[in-house]
Amino acid sequence: MALLPSMRKAAATEAAIEAAALRSDRFRQQREPDWKRLELIVTRMEKGRLRRLSDADLLELPVLYRTVASSLSVARETSLDAATLGYLENLVQRAWFLVYGPRTTLLAWLGRFFGGEWSRAVRAIAPELLVALTLMVAGTVIGWLLCAQDPDWYFSLFPAELAGERVPGASREILREGLFGNDGQPGLSVFAASLFSHNAGIAIMCFALGFAFGIPPLLLLVQNTTMLGAILWLYAGQGLTYDIAGWLSVHGTTELFAILLAGGAGLHVGRSMAFPGDQSLLEATAAAGQRSAVVMAGVVLMLLIAGLLEGFARQLIDNTETRLAVGGAMLAFWLGYFFLLRRIPAGSETA
């Protein structure tokens, strides 16, 4: 008699398993034709056999995808067998890439990106770029004026680990030695690498913190360029303004332009959140984020180019006039690319 409860429990469990198996079989029988048809279309497309697909197959692909995705949802809700779930998950994932995945090759994407998409995205945030440029100029002036008023400000604005011998009171000879005849000297290379790393971090943070209504990028742009003002003040005090401008311009026109774009992208996202206009907050933020992401993809490239210029060109070129020519040429190139290039391949318009 004591065995009756356990026997009844075992019988109930077995009945439940049989019912679940029956339900799974019935579910599969009712919907399996759509699964098989979608699998056939997906397999042929993955193998590049598009000629074996009819127009009806291509038109039916998104419909079948949604049908099978619905089947997967039902299968999960009703806890069907693991084999059916695994099959449906794999099929839905494969179909998703064909229905919603990218339809261009990497080369085609690069052609569209450099052929106008990047420059168009930069022009779209032109108001924010003007604000960012104003802040950068203001930060430079503030850094200069603070140091001119009290040289101790220099140590607050310019990181000690980057300064080395470049401090108030340094002689003209010491400052000039840091600008010329330094090919292969490790000290200057470390300084250049540290400065590049610092500026790259500022560029990334300007964009990443834009979601906070654009306030952090405003502060970062001013804070970063006060350092530029401080170093310009230091060299100007020894009559080396022309030389330091040439030393900085080789990579600076590209690197500072990248920071400008990153700051503008961050401000664009922040402005869209604070003032979405006729759009909903989510719609405005999504559109601004997409546009700014295109800008930032190019900023990464600009930072890489700036790093190469800083690591090689500036050290190999040892006279101010040539340095200014290189820096000016890079600035002219970026301005021309962003604001004169208007061509966008057909079908590549972005929001």
Q: Does residue 157 form part of some domain?
A: yes
- Over residues 198-254, the pLDDT tens digits come to 667 777 777 777 667 668 888 888 988 999 999 999 999 999 999 999 999 998 999
Same domain, 75 and 122: no
- pTM reported for the whole predicted model: 0.66
Q: Does residue 306 form part of some domain?
A: yes
Nearest alpha carbon to residue 348 among 102, 123, 116, 124 = 116
- Over residues 268-307, the pLDDT tens digits come to 988 888 888 788 878 888 888 888 889 998 998 998 888 8
Same domain, 332 and 263: yes
Same domain, 159 and 225: yes
* Longest Cα–Cα distance in the chain: 107
How many CA atoms are closer than 13 Å to the CA of 239, on its beta-carbon side?
A: 3
Same domain, 86 and 137: no
Count how many domains the chain has: 2
**Domain finish residue from 100, 124, 150:** 100
Q: Does residue 335 form part of some domain?
A: yes
Q: Cα Rg for the chain, rounded, in angstroms?
A: 31
Mean pLDDT of 36-54: 82
Distances (CA, A) of 214 to 33, 221, 223: 53, 11, 15
Contacts for 79 with CB less than 8 Å, ≥ 6 apart: 20
Same domain, 45 and 142: no
- Over residues 116-127, the pLDDT tens digits come to 889 999 999 999
Q: Does residue 350 form part of some domain?
A: no
**Domain finish residue from 100, 121, 136:** 100
Using CA atoms, how far apart are residues 315 and 188, in angstroms rounded to an integer? 9
Same domain, 37 and 115: no
CB atoms within 10 A of CB 263: 31
Q: In which domain, by residue range, is 30 found?
A: 15-100
Q: Does residue 323 form part of some domain?
A: yes
